[in-house]
């Protein structure tokens, strides 16, 4: 019997080693949530189980995409939709109904999202934004000069004089336009991170703040007068 003991011990140890990694690989609920958000292009940052502001912004983006109250908390309803096989991606969204026709820009203040629509009705670009619903209201606008001020200013500056507003395209009276997230003149750093875009976690002074990439696409899209619909 004593001759069999080493063999038995080896078999038991092998079985233990086989089972342990599978058990350890099961992610914590918070990590699973972050991984799913990243898989759906919602940008939760590192999937480390820390639901910080970056991760909360991803939850808000998902909630806005799924039509759920934008609490920034992964509540039961949010998790149910997130874990579903048909959970929607955050970065690709249908153009809102009743938002006009033809070539235009559509802004959804509810979703904190904009679409650049080509003449055939398809979105040629889209992405998150930050705005201020207390200043910019729903309705129809168009890019151009207002109040005697330039329609397009490649390197605009805020009234305060301490930040740059890159790729500024005016579309509503008098100072409201599209532009990149403001950059401080002192160091060139953005006022807030790109992951704030597409959420209600920040507020502009009335303009539409965009990522550098999307602000360039808006700049190139608006070389001629372009309708803008705020819904």
Higher pLDDT, 27 or 218: 218
What is the reported pLDDT for 22?
45
Instruction: CATH 1.10.101 in the chain: give the residue spans.
Output: 5-83
pLDDT band (50, 70, 90) for residue 1: very low
CATH number of 5-83: 1.10.101
**For residues 120-126, average pLDDT:** 96
pLDDT band (50, 70, 90) for residue 160: confident
pLDDT in tens, 161-184: 899 999 999 999 999 999 999 999
The pair phi, psi for residue 160, each rounded to 5°, is -65, -25
104-230 topology per CATH = L,D-transpeptidase catalytic domain-like (2.40.440)
Q: How many residues does the chain have?
A: 231
pLDDT in tens, 96-121: 999 999 999 999 999 999 999 999 99
- DSSP secondary structure letters along 125-193: EEEE-B--TTTS-SEEEESS-BTTB-SEEEEEE-TTSSEEEEEEEEEETTTEEEEESPEETTT--BSS-
How confident is the prediction for the chain on average, in pLDDT?
91
pLDDT band (50, 70, 90) for residue 23: very low
**Residue 15, helix vs strand vs coil:** helix
**Residue 57, helix vs strand vs coil:** helix
**Residue 108, helix vs strand vs coil:** strand
The answer to whether residues 218 and 116 touch, using CB atoms and an 8 Å cutoff, is yes
Q: Kindly tell me if the per-residue pLDDT of 89 is higher than 80.
A: yes
Tokens of 15: 């079985």
What is the reported pLDDT for 21?
45
Q: Distance (Å, rounded) from C-alpha 208 to C-alpha 113?
A: 10
Nearest CA to 103 out of 81, 132, 123 is that of 123
Q: Kindly tell me if the per-residue pLDDT of 26 is higher than 70.
A: no
Instruction: CATH 2.40.440.10 in the chain: give the residue spans.
Output: 104-230
Higher pLDDT, 6 or 70: 70
The answer to whether residues 212 and 180 touch, using CB atoms and an 8 Å cutoff, is yes
DSSP state letter for 118: -
């Amino acid at each position: 019997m004593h001759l069999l003991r080493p063999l038995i011990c080896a078999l038991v140890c092998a079985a233990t080693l086989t089972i342990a990694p599978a058990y350890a690989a099961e992610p914590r609920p918070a990590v699973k949530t972050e991984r799913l958000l990243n898989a759906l292009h919602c940008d939760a940052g590192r999937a480390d189980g820390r639901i910080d502001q970056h991760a909360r912004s991803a939850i808000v983006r998902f909630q806005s995409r799924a039509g759920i109250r934008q609490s920034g908390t992964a509540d039961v309803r949010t998790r149910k939709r997130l874990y579903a096989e048909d959970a929607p991606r955050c970065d690709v969204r249908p153009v809102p109904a009743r938002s006009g026709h033809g070539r235009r820009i559509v802004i959804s203040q509810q979703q904190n999202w904009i679409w650049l629509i080509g003449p055939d009705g398809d979105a040629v670009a889209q992405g998150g934004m930050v705005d201020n619903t207390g200043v910019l209201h729903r309705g129809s606008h168009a890019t151009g000069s207002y109040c005697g001020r330039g329609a397009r200013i490649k390197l605009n500056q805020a009234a305060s004089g301490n930040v740059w507003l890159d790729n500024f395209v005016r579309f509503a009276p008098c100072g409201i336009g599209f532009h990149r997230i403001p950059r401080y003149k002192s160091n060139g750093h953005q006022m807030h991170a790109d992951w704030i875009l597409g959420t209600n976690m920040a507020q502009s002074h009335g303009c539409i703040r965009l990522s550098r990439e999307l602000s360039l696409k808006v700049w190139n899209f608006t070389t001629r007068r372009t309708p803008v619909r705020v819904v």
